[in-house]
Amino acid sequence: MSTKNTTFKSIINWLHLWLGLASGTILIIVALTGSLLAFEAELEPVLFKHYHIVDPAGQRLSLDSVVTLAQNAYAGQKVSRIIVHAEANRSVEVRVGTKGENNKGVQLMYVNPYNGQILYKGVYTKKFFQQVRSLHRFLLLGDTGKIITGISCAICFFLTISGLVLWWPANKSAMKQRFKIKWNASGKRLNWDLHAVTGFYLSIFLLVVTFTGLIMSYDWLENTILKMVDGKQVKEAKVKSPSKGKEIKPGIYQDILQQTNQIYSGDGFVAFAIAAKPSQAITVTKENTNGMVASSDIAYFDAKNGSLIKKVPFAKLTPGAKFRKMITPAHTGSLLGWPGKILALIVALFTASLPISGFLIWLGKRKKDKKKIRPSRAVQAVA
C-alpha cells in the first residue's frame, strides 16, 4: 500500500474513532427509539388496547356525531384532525386545537364509533409514542436537542462511509475474510467482525436511514434535493374552498369519508386535516395499500358543503413531491411494508450496538499499545 493511502486511512481511522466515541450515547438513544417508532402502527393498538380496540356491535355513528362529541368535550374547540381506520374494531382518533409548534396545545381523543364512549382524553404530546418521537428527534430538549440529533445524524452518515473505507481490504488475500464472520474466533476478532463485516452488509440501508434523517433535520438539504429533482422548489399549494358563508352542511364529514372511499379503493386509513381558517379546503389522505410500495392519495373538499374540489393521487404527483412524501416512510422502513420495517429494526439495533463494539475495539487496541510500550521501556532501562 502506498504512503498516501496509508496516511489517508490513518486520518479516516482517527476521525472514525473519535467521532464515534463522541456521538456514541446519542446514537444509541436515537437508534433504540427509532426501532420502536418503526412499529408504532402495530404496537400502539397492542400496548394501549383499551382505547384503540372496540366491540363492533350495532350500527356505527356518523363521523359528524363523533366530531360533535369531541368538540363538546373540549368546550367547542375546533377539530383539526380525524383518523378513521378501515378495521371495524378500531376507534376513531380526533385531535382538537391548533397545531402550534411541535403540536403543543393539541388535545387528543379516542371515541368508540358504535356507542360514542370516550375511551381516552388527553394532551397529544403526552402520548407514549409522541414522547418516544420527541426523544428520538429532540432528546426531549426542544430546538437544542434537534441541533444535537442533526449533528449526530451527520456524524453517523460519515461513520458509515468511513467505515466502508476502513473495511476495504488492503490486498486480495484479505478480501475473503472481510465478507464473513468468523464465529469460532477469539472474542476480540468476533467483535471486530460483528462491527465491520455486519456493518458492510447493512451499510447501504444505514446510509438511506441517515440520509433521510438529515433531510428531515435540515430544510436547506430538502429544498436543494427538491430543486435537483423537479428543477425548482415546488411548494404544496393551499387549496381554498370556493363556497362562501359560515354555514357548514350537516353530515359533511360522513359525506367526505364516503366520497374518499369511493374515489380511492383499498383498506388503508383515512385522515382528515381541517385547517383553522374556514376559507381553506379540507385535506383528506387515504393510505394506498394496493401497490408494492406504501404511499398515500390525497383529495381536497369544500369546508362548507363537502363537495370534491380536486383529487391528487400519488401516481400523479411530481417526482419531487413523491420524493417528499417518501422521506419519512423510507426513514422508518414502512415504505416496503413489513419487510421494510423488519429491516429497519435490524438496522436500528445494529446501529445501537456500533458504539459499544467500536468502544471495545478501541479499548483492545489501547491495551495492546500499552503492552508494546512496557517491553520497550524495559529494554531502554537495561541499556
Residue-wise pLDDT tens digits, 254-275: 999 999 999 998 888 999 999 8
Q: Which residue has the higher pLDDT, 270 or 334?
A: 270
Phi-psi region of 264 (alpha: psi -120 to 50; beta: other; left: phi over 0): beta
pLDDT band per the 50, 70, 90 thresholds, residue 381: very low
**How does pLDDT run across 367-376, given as a tens digit for each residue?**
766 666 555 5
Burial status of residue 382 (CB atoms within 10 A of its CB: 0-12, 13-18, 19 or more): exposed
Q: With contact defined as beta carbons under 8 Å apart, do 283 and 260 qualify?
A: no
Give, to the nearest 10 degrees, the angle between helix 252-263 and helix 63-73: 130
Q: Which three cell numbers stand for residue 353?
A: 450496538
Integer Cα distance of 198 and 180 in angstroms = 8
Integer Cα distance of 102 and 58 in angstroms = 38
**How does pLDDT run across 199-258, given as a tens digit for each residue?**
999 999 999 999 999 999 999 998 888 888 877 766 666 788 888 777 888 999 999 999
Q: In what order do the strands lie in the sheet with 295-301?
A: 118-123, 107-111, 92-96, 79-84, 270-273, 282-288, 295-301, 308-312
Residue type at 41? A
**How does pLDDT run across 35-86, given as a tens digit for each residue?**
999 999 999 999 999 999 999 988 999 999 999 999 899 886 889 999 999 9
User: Which are the contacts of 299, defined by CB distance < 8 A and separation ≥ 6?
Assistant: 259, 260, 263, 264, 283, 284, 286, 308, 310, 311, 312
Pick from 190, 168, 162, 206: which is nearest to 331 by CA?
206
Give me the residue label for grid cell 473505507: 165
Query: Is 80 exceeded by the pLDDT of residue 294?
Result: no
User: What's the mean pLDDT when you consider all of the chain?
Assistant: 87
pLDDT at 81: 94
Integer Cα distance of 156 and 28 in angstroms = 11
pLDDT at 157: 96
The values of phi and psi at residue 216, to 5°, are -70, -25
Phi-psi region of 30 (alpha: psi -120 to 50; beta: other; left: phi over 0): alpha
Query: Is 80 exceeded by the pLDDT of residue 10?
Result: yes
pLDDT band per the 50, 70, 90 thresholds, residue 147: very high
pLDDT at 309: 95
Q: With contact defined as beta carbons under 8 Å apart, do 140 and 7 qualify?
A: no
Tell me the pairing of strands 92-96 and 79-84: antiparallel
Pick from 39, 166, 37, 48: which is nearest to 108 by CA?
48
pLDDT at 205: 94
Burial status of residue 215 (CB atoms within 10 A of its CB: 0-12, 13-18, 19 or more): buried
